[in-house]
Chain A
Amino acid sequence: MNVIIPPGIFFAVETYLSVNGFHYFVFDFVTQGDHIDIYCTKHPSLNGQDSSVSKTHLFSSGRICFVAGKEPRTRWEAQKRAKQWAEYFIEYRRTGKAQS
């Protein structure tokens, strides 16, 4: 009989407050094989902007869209990318200018 407790983290959600301090995001990270999918479960409204995936980079499931092969592979990287996306989202809802 042997019991092994491997290193790991029970994590509920990752919250992010935008740099301007006005907007609040909640992220959930899901390990999918060799990479991590980022889900945004809470974000500010689009402020009337176009909600298409090509502009928001956010699927209706809440998953953030990444180019195949460019997905984050570590948790640290996933957190960084989630923050970058959150700042992009705020800029998009303000100006309506989308990045490809």
Chain B
Amino acid sequence: MRKAKYNRKRKPSKCKRPKNRTAQTIEKFIKPCHDVCTEMAAIRINRKAFYELMHKLSSRPAESGGILLGPVGTNDITHFYFDRGGACTGGSYSPDYITLNRKMREEWLPAGLDMKGFAHSHPGSLDRLTAGDMSYIKKLLSKNPDMNMFVAPIVLPNQYRINPLIISRDRMDYAQRAHFEFF
């Protein structure tokens, strides 16, 4: 009797888990945005850069951050560089501007990449840009007249969540919600 049970042919699994798990993981972050904000501005970001960003910033306590890079002349983001040298406290992140400027001059600009923005993390559930953030972003935009918009997503490590925000040069006092477009 027992032998017969073991010889029985195994039924095919009914599990409907998609084979492409990475795509599903990305959807998890962006779904709330896609549902409600079809007319929002889009942040075009490379999947690899997005993973890098989420991995680095979500695995550390707030605040930490890094620079978003992409090809000159486009708004696409293709790279994320985590700023290891930045001064991070529980309530602030100060970029290591000396290292970043040097890398920009010596590595990124010669490779055809320029700054598209900064991603940084916030404590708790504070998913908006604060006045302190805005004043630094204004400073960054004023020093870089070629940038027409600044991408400033906020990562919440506690909730493993990201809020995509952009600041356009026309309205430097207003952080606009956007959505990610992956490529």
Contact = CB atoms under 8 A, between A and B. Distances in A.
| Main secondary structure on A side of the interface with B | loop
Nearest to B119: A10
A50 interface: no
B80 interface: no
Contacts of B92: 9-12
Interface stretch (A27-35, A53-61, A64-72): A27-35
B94 A9 contact: yes
Interface in A1-23: 1-15
A11 B132 contact: yes
B91 A6 contact: no
Contact of A12 (B67, B104, B122, B135): B122
Chain B interface size band reads: 35 or more
A6 B108 CA distance: 17
Contacts of B123: 12-13
A83 B135 CA distance: 22
Chain A interface size band reads: 20 to 34
A12 B62 contact: yes
A63 to B, nearest CB: 11
B140 A5 contact: yes
B101 interface: yes
A13 B91 contact: yes
B115 interface: yes
B155 to A, nearest CB: 12
7 contacts: A3-B114, A4-B144, A11-B93, A13-B123, A13-B130, A14-B91, A29-B131
Given A1-B72, A7-B94, 11 more contacts: A3-B108, A5-B115, A6-B140, A8-B94, A10-B120, A10-B133, A12-B63, A12-B123, A12-B133, A29-B132, A31-B131
